[in-house]
Amino acid sequence: MPEINAFQKIKSLKENLGKVIRGKPGIIDLAITALLSRGHLLIEDVPGVGKTTLAHGLAKSINCSFQRIQFTSDLLPSDVIGVTVYNQALHSFEFREGPLFANIVLADEINRATPKTQSALLEAMNDRQVSVEKTTYRLPRPFMLLATQNPLEFSGTFPLPESQLDRFTMCIKMGYPDESHEREIITRSASASSSIEALSPALTTDDVERLQALVDKVKVDEDLVGYIMAIAKATRNHRSIRLGVSPRATMTLYKAAQARALVSGRDYCIPDDIKALSVPVFAHRIITAEHGAFDGTEASTAVMDEIVSGIAVPI
């Protein structure tokens, strides 16, 4: 049993984020789950629903550095990672870190950048390091990339390659706030930016790293591993899915389920952890038979729902 402290810390993190993201406890839980599973988050939604606020609030709450990169079609990899410049005083080349060197990075409208720039993120996301000219630079810990993409704008966008998508732990939708929360948001809007600024840290980066270590210790019953495999297998054999999920995806679901258990105040997984995460973790990774390059994840979400509702839960 992890110290009660851990659950309290997660609780206070949730409360802290709840101050800036109103009426979206599910989204907050998923974001924390992604953070604790050492994952990255892809937020797919229309502009103005609070994607940036979520990323910024998360950074503020864990008292860490935050960078925002606005992706555009002329953005170069060096603009993200950093460049090597010649230091005339020292007569040597030195590396100047790009905006990627932060604990929480918000890649806004990631699909506007060229595949070349998008790919520059692969190593960072997977290994939490970047390599420039034979030198590998370690990114700060914890490191989490939040990317947003607008599913409705097609012109001037480059769809994320599958390898990139596979590295995002989950893809979530913010969704519109309900009426009462929207009213509250409007009336508070004058002080909205200041409320983010006023957010006090709930955790330290050390706390986050300790919680991430605790996630690894969350117990997962072997039958639940079987459950994960059954879902993965179903995506690979489903007739309306062209590309099923990769082993990386099943590993990710396993880890995310552990994190969700901890976020829910348990030190063991239950089937609901897997079932609830199977759609956000798997849906963006599968390619449905009628999939168009610019389609959102709606079709694959529907297929995933259908798959999960047909797989027996081990009890």
Partner 1 sequence: MNLNAYTLIVTYLMAGLGLAAISLVESIGAAFTLAMAGAAAFTLALNLKGRRIIPGAIWNPLAAVVFAFFIADYLAFSGSLIVAAGRFLTILLVLKLFDLARNRDFVIAYGIVFFQILSAAASTVSPIFLIILSLFIIGAIWAMILFNMKRDYQEAHPAEKGFPRVAFGGPFFAYVVGASAFSIVVTFIIFFIMPRMEFGFFQRKTLNTVKVSGFSDRVDLGTIGPVKEDPTIIMRVGINPIDKPDGLIYFRGMALDSYDGKGWSKTLKDEIVIRRNDGGVFNLTRLEGRAIEQSILLEPLDTDVLFAAGNPVSIEGPFQNIWFDRSGTIRLPSPPYSRIQYKARSILSPVRKDLSMPLLQYSDTSFLNEGPEGARIKALAESVTDGALGAREIAQAIEAHLKSSYSYTLNPNASAGLSPLDDFLFGSRQGYCEHYATAMAALLRAKGIPSRIVTGFLNGEWNGLGSYYIVRQQDAHSWVEAFIEHDGWVRFDPTPSAGVVSYSPSPVSLYMDLLRWRWNRYIIQFSFSDQRQIAMRFEGVGAGVFENLRNALLEKKTGGAASKFSPVAVVVVIVVGLIVWRLFTRKKTPSRTPRFYAEMLRTLKRRGLSRKPAETPLEFAERTGITEVKDITTALHIERYGGRRLTEAERGSVDAAMGRLKRSA
Chain residues in the site for partner 1 (CB under 8 A): 219, 221, 223-224, 266-272, 275, 308-315
Of 105 and 232, the one with the shorter C-beta distance to partner 1 is 232
Of 292 and 310, the one with the shorter C-beta distance to partner 1 is 310
Of 219 and 248, the one with the shorter C-beta distance to partner 1 is 219
Q: Output the smallest distance, CB 225 to partner 1, in A.
A: 12
Of 197 and 306, the one with the shorter C-beta distance to partner 1 is 306
Contacts of 309 (CB under 8 A, 6+ apart): none
Q: Which of 90, 20, 116 is nearest to 61 (CA)?
A: 20
Q: Output the smallest distance, CB 270 to partner 1, in A.
A: 5
Rounded Cα–Cα distance for residues 289 and 273 (Å)? 28
Rounded Cα–Cα distance for residues 67 and 104 (Å)? 6
Q: Which of 302, 291, 277, 280 is nearest to 243 (CA)?
A: 291
Backbone angles phi, psi at 110, to 5 degrees: -60, -30
Q: Output the smallest distance, CB 211 to partner 1, in A.
A: 19
AA letter at 228: I
Q: Assess whether the previous peptide bond of 140 is cis (omega < 30° from 0).
A: no
Q: Output the smallest distance, CB 256 to partner 1, in A.
A: 16
Q: Which of 212, 247, 266 is nearest to 62 (CA)?
A: 212
Extended strands (E) in 52-157: 66-70, 82-87, 92-97, 104-108, 129-132, 135-138, 144-149
Pairing state between β 41-44 and 170-172: parallel
Rounded Cα–Cα distance for residues 28 and 260 (Å)? 11
Of 124 and 218, the one with the shorter C-beta distance to partner 1 is 218
Q: Output the smallest distance, CB 231 to partner 1, in A.
A: 11
Q: Output the smallest distance, CB 230 to partner 1, in A.
A: 10
Of 196 and 311, the one with the shorter C-beta distance to partner 1 is 311
Q: Output the smallest distance, CB 261 to partner 1, in A.
A: 9
Of 190 and 315, the one with the shorter C-beta distance to partner 1 is 315
Helix (H, G, I), strand (E, B) or coil at 100: coil
